[in-house]
Each structure stands twice: as structure tokens, then as C-alpha cells.
């Protein structure tokens, strides 16, 4: 890499944005229901508590009872109805069962058709992440071209930097493909 502060900054921003793209994708994958009880499916669900909205994981313990059942044990039992209402309105395809102490979420077995729909959803998420990576590449390339135009980089330096950008994008796309393949395999495993 060239010893130039502006180039280093372009690469730092590039790497940071690519890392964020991959981590956001993995978070989205964690929220895709795979037929197994996964507490991450509730990460974005918020319930009304104490006059405001709070994430479920701040209102109680969320644990997997077995492979197909999550148990939410609120620290304050008066929040049971609010949590139940929040899960129903979150539209995650699960119906909560409230026994007065805890809320149980039973994950039904996924049908073959539903599994295929989820795989399509995962592929779409992967493609969206790749588009984001390409947009990040374009931003970095534009910054490098601007430096070349302003004579801050020579022709050879700019070409070398552009090749480095391409390598980083290729590595990111490969990581996105791997994450998608892992999630697809998880979804198709009965």
C-alpha cells in the first residue's frame, strides 16, 4: 500500500463499511427463523414498559428450553401482557403462550415450501449486501480517481490502489456468499 494519509483514510473507511455490511447481514440472518428456537428472532421486538418502549432482552430472560421452544421470563410479572402483545404485533409468525409466570414461544416444524421461501429470502439479503459492497467500492474508486485527477497519486499508484480495493471487495463478497451458504444449509436441514 502507498504511504499516503488520504489513501490510508480511503482504505480505513472502505474496510469499516465492508465490515459493517457483513455484520449487519449476519444479524439479519440470525433473525431469520430456521425452525429452531433462536433468541435472536426477538432482537428487534420491543414491548411497552414503564412508560416507554424497551427491547425484550432488557425486560427479562430469554432462553431456549429445547430445540423448538423459547421461554421469556420477565423480571416484572406485570409486563407479561405487554410482552405478549409486542410479540403478536411483531408479526414473526409465532403465537405466545402466557401461563402467568413465563411466556413460551413454540416454533412449528417448517414445511418444505416455507424452507424454500426462507432460502429465497436469505439469497435476496445476500444480494442486497453485495450491492451495498459494490456501492462502497464505487465510493472508494471515486475518491481514488479524484486524488489521481488532483495529481495526489501517480497513474501507477492509483492502479495499485484500485487493485487493492478490488481484492477487498472480492474478499467481502466471498464472506457474504459463505454466510449465505451456511444459513441456507441451516434452513434446509430438517
Each residue's pLDDT tens digit, 128-160? 999 999 999 999 999 999 998 988 888 888 899
Query: What's the mean pLDDT in 83-89?
Result: 88
- What pTM was computed for the model? 0.70
For 29-72, how does the pLDDT look when each residue is reduced to its tens digit (9 = 90+)? 877 766 667 787 788 888 888 888 888 888 888 888 887 888 98
User: What integer pLDDT is reported at residue 12 of this predicted model?
Assistant: 93
Is residue 4 very low, low, confident or very high in pLDDT (cuts 50, 70, 90)? confident
- What does the block give as the cell for 104? 413460551
User: Which residue from 109, 107, 116 is spatially nearest to 190, judged by alpha carbons?
Assistant: 109
Query: Quick check: 1 pLDDT over 60?
Result: no
Q: Give the DSSP letter of residue 32.
A: S
Domains, the chain: 5-31+111-188 (1.10.132.20), 39-106 (3.30.1360.40)
Three-state secondary-structure class, residue 104:
strand
CA 74, CA 43: separation in Å to the nearest integer? 15
Q: Give the DSSP letter of residue 43.
A: T
Amino acid at each position: 500500500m502507498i504511504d499516503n494519509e488520504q489513501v490510508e483514510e480511503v482504505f480505513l473507511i472502505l474496510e469499516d463499511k465492508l465490515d459493517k455490511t457483513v455484520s449487519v447481514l449476519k444479524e439479519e440472518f440470525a433473525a431469520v427463523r430456521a425452525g429452531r428456537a433462536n433468541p435472536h428472532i426477538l432482537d428487534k421486538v420491543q414491548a411497552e414498559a414503564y412508560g416507554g418502549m424497551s427491547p425484550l432482552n432488557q425486560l427479562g430472560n430469554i432462553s431456549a428450553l429445547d430445540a423448538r421452544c423459547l421461554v421469556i421470563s420477565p423480571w416484572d410479572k406485570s409486563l407479561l401482557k405487554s410482552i405478549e402483545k409486542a410479540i403478536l404485533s411483531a408479526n414473526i409468525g409465532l403465537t405466545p403462550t402466557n401461563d402467568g409466570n413465563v411466556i413460551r414461544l413454540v416454533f412449528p416444524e417448517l414445511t418444505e415450501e416455507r424452507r424454500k421461501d426462507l432460502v429465497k429470502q436469505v439469497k435476496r439479503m445476500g444480494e442486497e449486501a453485495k450491492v451495498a459492497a459494490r456501492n462502497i467500492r464505487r465510493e472508494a474508486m471515486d475518491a481514488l480517481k479524484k486524488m489521481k485527477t488532483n495529481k495526489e497519486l501517480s497513474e501507477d499508484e492509483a492502479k495499485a490502489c484500485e487493485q487493492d480495493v478490488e481484492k477487498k471487495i472480492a474478499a467481502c463478497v466471498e464472506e457474504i456468499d459463505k454466510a449465505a451458504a451456511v444459513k441456507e444449509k441451516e434452513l434446509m436441514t430438517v
